[in-house]
Protein backbone atom coordinates (compact mmCIF):
# COMPACT_ATOMS: atom_id res chain seq x y z
CA UNK A 1 0.00 0.00 0.00
CA UNK A 2 1.34 3.42 -0.93
CA UNK A 3 2.07 5.90 1.82
CA UNK A 4 -0.42 8.76 1.94
CA UNK A 5 0.27 12.01 3.72
CA UNK A 6 -2.13 14.84 4.55
CA UNK A 7 -0.52 17.97 5.93
CA UNK A 8 -2.08 21.11 7.35
CA UNK A 9 0.17 24.07 6.60
CA UNK A 10 -0.15 27.32 8.52
CA UNK A 11 0.73 30.19 6.19
CA UNK A 12 0.54 33.04 8.71
CA UNK A 13 -1.62 36.16 8.79
CA UNK A 14 -1.00 37.50 5.29
CA UNK A 15 2.54 38.64 4.57
CA UNK A 16 4.31 35.83 2.66
CA UNK A 17 7.53 36.76 4.47
CA UNK A 18 5.94 35.43 7.66
CA UNK A 19 5.61 31.91 6.23
CA UNK A 20 8.06 29.57 7.96
CA UNK A 21 10.73 27.68 6.05
CA UNK A 22 9.03 24.40 7.00
CA UNK A 23 5.70 25.60 5.63
CA UNK A 24 7.23 26.85 2.38
CA UNK A 25 9.02 23.53 1.89
CA UNK A 26 5.83 21.53 2.50
CA UNK A 27 3.90 23.63 0.00
CA UNK A 28 6.63 23.25 -2.61
CA UNK A 29 6.82 19.48 -2.17
CA UNK A 30 3.10 18.65 -2.02
CA UNK A 31 1.48 16.99 -5.03
CA UNK A 32 -1.55 19.26 -4.59
CA UNK A 33 -2.25 22.20 -2.28
CA UNK A 34 -5.88 22.70 -1.29
CA UNK A 35 -6.83 26.31 -0.56
CA UNK A 36 -10.12 27.74 0.72
CA UNK A 37 -12.25 29.69 -1.71
CA UNK A 38 -14.63 31.84 0.31
CA UNK A 39 -17.61 34.10 -0.34
CA UNK A 40 -15.31 37.12 -0.17
CA UNK A 41 -12.74 35.82 -2.66
CA UNK A 42 -15.40 34.93 -5.22
CA UNK A 43 -13.79 33.76 -8.46
CA UNK A 44 -10.39 35.21 -7.55
CA UNK A 45 -7.64 33.88 -5.32
CA UNK A 46 -8.29 34.05 -1.59
CA UNK A 47 -5.70 35.12 0.95
CA UNK A 48 -4.30 31.64 1.53
CA UNK A 49 -3.93 31.08 -2.22
CA UNK A 50 -2.13 34.39 -2.68
CA UNK A 51 0.37 33.44 0.01
CA UNK A 52 0.91 29.98 -1.48
CA UNK A 53 1.54 31.44 -4.93
CA UNK A 54 4.12 33.82 -3.46
CA UNK A 55 6.15 31.17 -1.62
CA UNK A 56 5.54 28.16 -3.89
CA UNK A 57 4.94 29.50 -7.43
CA UNK A 58 5.09 26.07 -9.02
CA UNK A 59 2.57 24.48 -6.65
CA UNK A 60 -0.48 22.76 -8.08
CA UNK A 61 -3.36 24.55 -6.37
CA UNK A 62 -6.96 23.44 -6.06
CA UNK A 63 -9.66 25.70 -4.63
CA UNK A 64 -12.23 24.26 -2.25
CA UNK A 65 -15.35 26.24 -1.43
CA UNK A 66 -15.72 27.12 2.24
CA UNK A 67 -18.68 28.83 3.90
CA UNK A 68 -16.72 31.12 6.20
CA UNK A 69 -19.76 33.21 7.16
CA UNK A 70 -21.38 30.19 8.75
CA UNK A 71 -20.59 29.33 12.36
CA UNK A 72 -20.00 26.07 14.19
CA UNK A 73 -21.08 22.84 12.54
CA UNK A 74 -23.75 24.28 10.27
CA UNK A 75 -24.93 22.20 7.32
CA UNK A 76 -23.08 24.44 4.84
CA UNK A 77 -19.82 24.22 6.77
CA UNK A 78 -20.07 20.45 7.00
CA UNK A 79 -20.65 20.35 3.25
CA UNK A 80 -17.44 22.36 2.82
CA UNK A 81 -15.45 19.95 4.98
CA UNK A 82 -16.88 16.98 3.10
CA UNK A 83 -15.99 18.53 -0.26
CA UNK A 84 -12.41 19.12 0.88
CA UNK A 85 -12.14 15.58 2.21
CA UNK A 86 -13.51 14.11 -1.02
CA UNK A 87 -11.01 16.14 -3.04
CA UNK A 88 -8.13 14.79 -0.96
CA UNK A 89 -9.42 11.21 -1.11
CA UNK A 90 -9.87 11.45 -4.89
CA UNK A 91 -6.27 12.58 -5.30
CA UNK A 92 -5.02 9.75 -3.09
CA UNK A 93 -7.08 7.26 -5.12
CA UNK A 94 -5.50 8.66 -8.28
CA UNK A 95 -2.05 7.82 -6.94
CA UNK A 96 -0.92 11.11 -5.43
CA UNK A 97 0.81 10.68 -2.10
CA UNK A 98 1.05 14.10 -0.44
CA UNK A 99 -1.85 16.52 -0.16
CA UNK A 100 -1.43 19.82 1.70
CA UNK A 101 -4.08 22.21 2.90
CA UNK A 102 -3.01 25.82 3.39
CA UNK A 103 -4.67 27.60 6.28
CA UNK A 104 -4.44 31.24 7.30
CA UNK A 105 -2.65 31.56 10.63
CA UNK A 106 -2.12 28.19 12.28
CA UNK A 107 -3.88 24.91 11.35
CA UNK A 108 -4.61 24.20 15.03
CA UNK A 109 -6.30 27.56 15.73
CA UNK A 110 -9.91 27.99 14.53
CA UNK A 111 -8.98 26.15 11.36
CA UNK A 112 -11.00 23.89 9.08
CA UNK A 113 -8.04 21.53 8.79
CA UNK A 114 -8.93 19.54 11.89
CA UNK A 115 -12.36 18.71 10.43
CA UNK A 116 -10.82 17.82 7.08
CA UNK A 117 -8.22 15.58 8.71
CA UNK A 118 -10.84 13.79 10.79
CA UNK A 119 -13.03 13.10 7.77
CA UNK A 120 -10.13 11.86 5.64
CA UNK A 121 -8.79 9.66 8.42
CA UNK A 122 -12.23 8.08 8.94
CA UNK A 123 -12.28 7.05 5.26
CA UNK A 124 -8.57 6.27 5.01
CA UNK A 125 -7.27 5.14 8.43
CA UNK A 126 -3.73 4.59 7.17
CA UNK A 127 -3.24 8.21 6.13
CA UNK A 128 -0.44 10.03 7.90
CA UNK A 129 -1.56 13.43 9.17
CA UNK A 130 0.85 16.16 10.17
CA UNK A 131 0.60 19.81 11.14
CA UNK A 132 2.99 22.66 10.37
CA UNK A 133 2.39 25.63 12.67
CA UNK A 134 2.03 29.18 11.43
CA UNK A 135 2.14 32.66 12.92
CA UNK A 136 -1.28 33.63 14.24
CA UNK A 137 -3.13 36.93 13.94
CA UNK A 138 -2.77 37.28 17.69
CA UNK A 139 1.01 37.19 17.44
CA UNK A 140 1.06 39.45 14.40
CA UNK A 141 -1.17 42.04 16.12
CA UNK A 142 1.00 42.03 19.24
CA UNK A 143 4.11 42.54 17.11
CA UNK A 144 2.58 45.23 14.92
CA UNK A 145 1.41 47.25 17.92
CA UNK A 146 4.52 46.62 20.00
CA UNK A 147 2.41 45.10 22.76
CA UNK A 148 3.74 42.19 24.86
CA UNK A 149 1.10 39.49 25.03
CA UNK A 150 1.96 38.30 28.53
CA UNK A 151 4.65 38.92 31.12
CA UNK A 152 5.60 37.13 34.33
CA UNK A 153 2.68 35.09 35.66
CA UNK A 154 0.02 36.69 33.49
CA UNK A 155 -2.63 34.54 31.83
CA UNK A 156 -3.42 34.72 28.11
CA UNK A 157 -6.74 33.75 26.52
CA UNK A 158 -7.98 33.55 22.94
CA UNK A 159 -11.72 33.71 22.33
CA UNK A 160 -14.13 34.20 19.42
CA UNK A 161 -16.54 37.14 19.53
CA UNK A 162 -19.22 34.67 18.50
CA UNK A 163 -19.37 33.65 22.18
CA UNK A 164 -21.46 36.76 22.72
CA UNK A 165 -21.34 39.01 25.76
CA UNK A 166 -22.35 36.26 28.20
CA UNK A 167 -19.60 33.97 26.99
CA UNK A 168 -16.89 36.57 26.51
CA UNK A 169 -17.37 38.22 29.91
CA UNK A 170 -16.02 35.34 32.02
CA UNK A 171 -12.99 35.08 29.72
CA UNK A 172 -12.20 38.76 30.24
CA UNK A 173 -12.65 38.32 33.99
CA UNK A 174 -10.31 35.33 34.17
CA UNK A 175 -7.41 36.35 31.91
CA UNK A 176 -4.93 39.20 32.06
CA UNK A 177 -4.54 39.40 28.28
CA UNK A 178 -7.31 38.46 25.88
CA UNK A 179 -7.33 38.34 22.10
CA UNK A 180 -10.74 38.24 20.44
CA UNK A 181 -11.15 36.84 16.94
CA UNK A 182 -14.09 37.12 14.56
CA UNK A 183 -15.08 40.58 15.85
CA UNK A 184 -16.49 41.99 12.63
CA UNK A 185 -20.14 42.76 13.20
CA UNK A 186 -19.79 42.23 16.95
CA UNK A 187 -17.13 44.86 17.55
CA UNK A 188 -19.60 46.98 19.52
CA UNK A 189 -20.33 44.09 21.87
CA UNK A 190 -16.61 43.49 22.39
CA UNK A 191 -16.07 47.18 23.13
CA UNK A 192 -18.90 47.21 25.69
CA UNK A 193 -17.67 44.05 27.41
CA UNK A 194 -14.21 45.57 27.77
CA UNK A 195 -15.50 48.97 28.88
CA UNK A 196 -17.62 47.37 31.63
CA UNK A 197 -14.38 46.05 33.08
CA UNK A 198 -12.40 49.25 32.64
CA UNK A 199 -10.40 47.76 29.79
CA UNK A 200 -9.45 49.09 26.37
CA UNK A 201 -8.22 47.14 23.40
CA UNK A 202 -6.32 47.42 20.15
CA UNK A 203 -8.20 46.41 17.03
CA UNK A 204 -6.13 45.36 14.04
CA UNK A 205 -7.30 44.53 10.54
CA UNK A 206 -5.28 43.21 7.59
CA UNK A 207 -2.33 42.91 9.97
CA UNK A 208 1.06 42.36 8.26
CA UNK A 209 -0.26 43.57 4.89
CA UNK A 210 0.23 47.01 3.27
CA UNK A 211 -3.39 47.91 4.12
CA UNK A 212 -2.85 47.09 7.80
CA UNK A 213 -4.83 49.31 10.15
CA UNK A 214 -4.44 49.52 13.93
CA UNK A 215 -6.52 51.62 16.29
CA UNK A 216 -7.55 51.88 19.91
CA UNK A 217 -10.99 50.39 20.30
CA UNK A 218 -12.05 53.51 22.20
CA UNK A 219 -11.18 55.68 19.18
CA UNK A 220 -13.52 53.91 16.78
CA UNK A 221 -17.09 54.98 16.10
CA UNK A 222 -19.73 52.94 17.86
CA UNK A 223 -21.01 51.55 14.56
CA UNK A 224 -17.61 50.64 13.13
CA UNK A 225 -17.33 47.12 11.76
CA UNK A 226 -14.23 45.28 10.70
CA UNK A 227 -13.65 42.47 8.23
CA UNK A 228 -13.22 38.77 8.89
CA UNK A 229 -9.44 39.13 9.15
CA UNK A 230 -9.43 41.33 12.21
CA UNK A 231 -8.70 40.86 15.90
CA UNK A 232 -8.94 42.76 19.17
CA UNK A 233 -6.17 42.56 21.74
CA UNK A 234 -6.65 43.69 25.33
CA UNK A 235 -3.69 43.50 27.72
CA UNK A 236 -2.81 45.01 31.10
CA UNK A 237 -1.98 48.71 30.79
CA UNK A 238 1.44 49.02 29.17
CA UNK A 239 3.30 51.47 27.02
CA UNK A 240 3.53 50.41 23.39
CA UNK A 241 7.10 49.32 22.64
CA UNK A 242 8.05 50.16 19.09
CA UNK A 243 4.70 49.44 17.48
CA UNK A 244 2.95 51.51 14.86
CA UNK A 245 -0.18 52.36 16.85
Of 117-126, 172-181, 226-235, the poorest mean pLDDT is in 226-235
1-42: pLDDT as tens digits? 578 999 999 999 999 999 999 999 999 999 999 998 876 656
* 122 pLDDT above the threshold of 90: yes
Statement to judge: residues 109 and 158 lie in one domain: no
The pLDDT of residue 242: 57
* 124 and 161 both lie in a single domain: no
pLDDT of residue 108: 96
- Indicate the pLDDT class of residue 69, thresholds 50, 70 and 90: low
Residues 6+ apart with CB under 8 A from 226: 183, 184, 187, 203, 205
C-beta of residue 76 within 8 angstroms of C-beta of residue 67: yes
Tell me what the mean pLDDT of segment 108-137 comes to.
95
The per-residue pLDDT for 47 is 93
pLDDT digit string, tens, across residues 193-205: 999 999 999 999 9
What pairs with residue 178 in β-bridges? 157, 234
HSE-up of 45 (CA within 13 Å, CB side)?
Answer: 12
Residues 208 and 91 in one domain: no
Residues with Cβ < 8 Å from 214, sequence gap 6 or more?
Answer: 141, 144, 145, 202, 203, 204, 207, 243, 244, 245
As a whole number, mean pLDDT of residues 109-135 equals: 94
Reduce the DSSP state of residue 90 to 3 states and report it. helix
**82 and 116 fall within a common domain:** yes
DSSP assignment letter at 105: B
Judge whether 61 lies within some domain: yes
Of 97, 28, 23, whose CA–CA distance to 59 is shortest?
Answer: 28
Average pLDDT, the chain: 89
191 in helix, strand or coil?
helix
pLDDT-derived band at 67 (thresholds 50, 70, 90) equals: low
Flag whether 244 is in a domain: no
* E strand residue ranges, the chain: 5-10, 32-37, 61-65, 98-103, 128-132, 156-160, 177-181, 202-205, 213-216, 230-234
pLDDT range class, residue 178, cuts 50, 70, 90 = very high
Between 219 and 230, where is the model more confident? 230
Based on the domain organization, do 13 and 115 belong to the same domain?
A: yes
Average pLDDT over residues 164-190: 93
* Conformational region of residue 106, where left means phi above 0, alpha means psi within -120 to 50, and beta covers everything else: beta
Residues 41 and 63 in one domain: yes
- Choose one of 89, 115, 132: the last residue of a domain: 132
Overall number of domains in the chain: 2
Asked whether the beta carbons of 120 and 7 are under 8 A apart, the reply is no
- The CA distance from 91 to 220, in Å, is 47
Dihedral of the alpha carbons of 132, 26, 44, 39, in degrees to the nearest 10: -30
Residues 152 and 116 both lie in one domain: no
Can you give the CATH number for the domain in which 144 is found?
3.30.950.10
Q: What is the pLDDT of residue 68?
A: 53
Q: What is the mean pLDDT of residues 74-90?
A: 79
- Sequence-separated (6 or more) residues with CB below 8 Å from residue 42: none
**How far apart (Å, rounded) are the C-alpha atoms in residues 160 and 26?**
29
Tell whether 51 and 77 lie within a shared domain: yes
Amino acid sequence: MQRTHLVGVGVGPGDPQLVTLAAATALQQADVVLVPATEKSGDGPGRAEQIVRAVAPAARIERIGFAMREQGRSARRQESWQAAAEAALTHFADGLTTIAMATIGDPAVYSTFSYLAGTVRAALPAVEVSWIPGITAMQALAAASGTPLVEGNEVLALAPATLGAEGLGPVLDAADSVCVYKGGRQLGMVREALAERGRDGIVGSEVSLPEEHLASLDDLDQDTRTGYFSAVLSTPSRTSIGGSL
